[in-house]
Chains A and B, each alone.
Chain A
Amino acid sequence: MTFNPAYLRRIAVRLALNVFTLIVIISLSFLIMKAAPGKPFQTERNPSPQVLEELHRKYDFTYSQYLKGILFHGDFRYSYSHRSSTVVEIIAEALPVSLELGWYALVIAVVAGLAFGLLSALYRGRWFEGFVLAFAMIGIAVPNFVLGSLLQLCFSLQWRMAPVAGWNGIDSKILPVLTLSLTFIAYITRIARGSFLENLNKDYIRTARAKGLPEFRVLWKHLLRNSILPVINYLAPATAYILTGTLVVEKIFNIPGMGRYFIESVFQRDFPLALGVIIIYSVFLLSLNLLADIVLTFVDPRIQLQ
Chain B
Amino acid sequence: MNHSHRVFLLLPSLIFWSCRAGAGDGPKPLVLINASEPASLDLHQVTGQPEIRVIGALFEGLVLRGLKSPQVRPGAARSWEVSADGRNYTFHLRPNHWSNGTPLTSRDFLASWRRFSNPTTGSEYSTLLKIIHNANAIREKKLPPDSLGIAAPDDSTFTVNLDFPVAFFLDLCAFEPFFPVPVDTIAKYGDHWTTPDHLVGNGAFVMKGWKRNVAIDLEKNPYYWDSANVKQAKVKVLPVEDQLTAWNMFLSGEADWIFSVPTSKLDAAKKMPEFFNKPMFGTYYYLVNCKNPGYDNANLRKALSYAIDRKKIVDRVLKNINTPATGFVPPTPSYPGVSMELYDPVKAKEFLVKAGYSAGKQPPGLQILYNTAESHRDIAQVVQQMWKETLGLDAELVNYEWKVYLENTKNLNYRSVARASWIGDFSDPISFLELYTTEDGNNRAGYSDPEYDKLIKSTWTMSDAGLRLATLRQAEARLMEGMPVIPIYYYALNEMRNPKLQDADPNPLGMYSWKDVHLAQ
Could you tell me which A residues sit within 8 Å of B by CB distance? 37-40, 42-48, 50-51, 53-55, 58, 78, 81-85, 90, 93-94, 149, 152-153, 155-157, 159-171, 174, 251-254, 256, 260, 267-269
Contact = CB atoms under 8 A, between A and B. Distances in A.
A39 B410 CA distance: 11
A174 to B, nearest CB: 7
A171 B22 CA distance: 12
B1 interface: no
A250 to B, nearest CB: 9
A155 B16 contact: yes
Majority DSSP secondary structure for residues of A touching B: loop
B346 interface: no
Interface stretch (B83-91, B152-160, B246-254, B463-471): B246-254
Contacts, number: 152
Contacts of A50: 119, 139-141
A263 to B, nearest CB: 11
A18 B147 CA distance: 57
Nearest to A89: B212
A38 B403 contact: yes
B23 A169 contact: yes
B122 interface: yes
Contact of A84 (B13, B191, B249): B191
A163 B23 CA distance: 11
B176 to A, nearest CB: 14
Contacts of B19: 169-171, 174
Interface residues of B, number: 56
Contacts of B410: 42, 46
B252 to A, nearest CB: 5
A261 to B, nearest CB: 9
Contacts of B123: 51
B355 to A, nearest CB: 30
A152 B240 CA distance: 15
B245 A54 contact: no
B192 A84 contact: yes
Given A47-B122, A82-B40, A260-B241, 19 more contacts: A42-B410, A43-B124, A48-B124, A54-B122, A58-B122, A85-B212, A90-B212, A94-B213, A152-B248, A155-B12, A157-B251, A157-B252, A162-B16, A164-B248, A166-B214, A167-B214, A168-B214, A171-B16, A260-B213
Nearest to B140: A50
A157 B122 CA distance: 45
Q: 4 smallest A-B Cβ distances: which pairs? A: A38-B403, A256-B213, A171-B19, A161-B16
A13 B141 CA distance: 56
B442 A46 contact: yes
Nearest to B190: A84
A55 B239 CA distance: 26
B127 interface: yes
Contact of A54 (B20, B119, B194): B119
A171 B18 CA distance: 9
Nearest to A172: B19
Contact of B403 (A152, A156, A267): A267
A149 B122 CA distance: 42
